[in-house]
Structure 1
Amino acid sequence: MRHSKKLVVLAAGAVIGITAVAATVRYTSGTEFCLSCHEMRVYAEEMKFSSHARDAEGRPIGCAQCHIPGGNIVRMLAAKMWMGSKDIWVHAVDGETALDRAAMQPRARRFIDDANCLACHQDLGRNAKGDGPVSTEGRLAHDSYLGKNGRSRNGCAGCHANLAHLPPFDARIPRNHAFAEKLKEADLAKP
């Protein structure tokens, strides 16, 4: 009888623990939670003017849709622990200084999981609006990504930079011109 009581207590503890972890993961994956730190607010403001502000159905795109790997619980939890630890450090230690976005960019792009991009952009032969084919350059790059004509080492964010956020130092790049103009009109981009 003692043995079965221990098993019941262990099972109940496991259920409570798993429920607590799931609730914490859900809460800390919300955009409201991300924006509770002042360092992240610039990203939210930029996002409002980007081509990725809303999905194809017109719903706002949240932070987790791009920044948290989906589908693989181990990768998702590892990414949340790594990025969460890093973000807590930045907030607690470096929070009063401006973020060095130029230094952060290459590392940040590694945490944009291609599966997250492909959840919305499934047909790589179509342009982003879905109303025509991609350019010849785009088709060749996507074929390389898919291993059809060689193998690309770039993930989606490696080629498609600054689609949701545009730091001021990248505003000068011609392909970012339209996005930079929207930010300038909103007085978010500094010359």
Structure 2
Amino acid sequence: MTQKVSLGLAVVIFIAGMVFAGLFNVGMSATNEMDFCTSCHSMKINLEEYKETVHYKSASGVRATCSDCHVPKAFVPKMVVKVIAAKDVYHEIVGTIDTREKYEARRWQMASRVWAQMQANDSRECRSCHDWDAMDLAEQDRTARKRHGRARDEGKTCIDCHKGIAHEEPDEPEDVEISEQG
């Protein structure tokens, strides 16, 4: 009888785990949707800017969404980013970035954090579409060919040169301390 109870309990735990994993996956997928990302008032500012970029509208019809650029594909880095992103929801709720003026006042800080993250991970999300090995430098215009070739040779990452590619690049505040820049 004890074996039957143990087996029954194991089956229940297994099924509960499968249900949890399925619901968790659905939740993660839902939070990667652009409608979810831009549902907060402050993120509508980013949406307006993004709609004017090549990442939103392109001749080929290919479109990168918020999660393509900001959410890693691998599970552990994705969970880390999701936990860190909760701060944006927090700041929206407590009113730190709930108006355009407040958002703009914090824009440099927020952008600098994203840039630092992209530099630290070698622009990992950019490279899921823009891989060095997939680039045909011969098909690029002369300036791009020269700059991309040099950047590759120097070990630069995408964000080193393309900070204003999907959102307006904020002006550096005059009172930024050296430690905050690093």
Change (3 A) 1:15 1:21: same
d(CA) in 2 for partners of 1:35 and 1:137? Answer: 33
Q: CA deviation at 1:6?
A: 0.4
Would you say 1:143 and 2:153 are equivalent positions? Answer: yes
Alignment: residue pair count: 159
Gaps of 5+ in 1: 146-151, 171-191
Q: CA deviation at 1:4?
A: 0.5
Residue 131 of structure 2 aligns to which amino acid in structure 1? Answer: Q
Select 1:22's aligned residue among 15, 21, 25: 25
Change (3 A) 1:87 1:136: same
Tell me the equivalent position of 2:113: 107
* 8 Å contact kept, 1:39–1:95: yes
Where do 4+ consecutive residues of structure 1 move more than 3 Å? 54-57, 110-113, 123-127, 129-135, 167-170
Tell me the equivalent position of 2:175: none
Change (3 A) 1:168 1:140: closer
Kindly provide the CA deviation profile for residues 5-57 of structure 1, in whole angstroms up to 9, marking residues without a partner as x: 00011001100111111011000110000111000011111111112224673
Would you say 1:116 and 2:125 are equivalent positions? Answer: yes
Q: CA deviation at 1:110?
A: 3.3
Tell me the equivalent position of 1:177: none
Q: CA deviation at 1:143?
A: 1.4
Select 2:78's aligned residue among 72, 76, 86: 76
Deviates more, 1:6-15 or 1:135-144: 135-144
Q: CA deviation at 1:167?
A: 4.4
* 8 Å contact kept, 1:54–1:61: no
Identity %: 25
Q: CA deviation at 1:168?
A: 5.8
d(CA) in 2 for partners of 1:57 and 1:75? Answer: 30
d(CA) in 2 for partners of 1:139 and 1:35? Answer: 35
d(CA) in 2 for partners of 1:67 and 1:56? Answer: 23
d(CA) in 2 for partners of 1:110 and 1:55? Answer: 27
Tell me the equivalent position of 2:178: none
Residue 88 of structure 1 aligns to which amino acid in structure 2? Answer: V
Gaps of 5+ in 2: 173-182
Residue 113 of structure 2 aligns to which amino acid in structure 1? Answer: R
**How well do the aligned residues superpose, as a CA RMSD in angstroms?**
2.4
Residue 109 of structure 1 aligns to which amino acid in structure 2? Answer: W
Q: What TM-score comes out, normalization by structure 2 length? A: 0.76
Change (3 A) 1:26 1:130: farther
Would you say 1:87 and 2:96 are equivalent positions? Answer: no
Q: Which has the higher helix share?
A: 2
Change (3 A) 1:111 1:26: farther
Kindly provide the CA deviation profile for residues 154-177 of structure 1, in whole angstroms up to 9, marking residues without a partner as x: x3213211000014638xxxxxxx
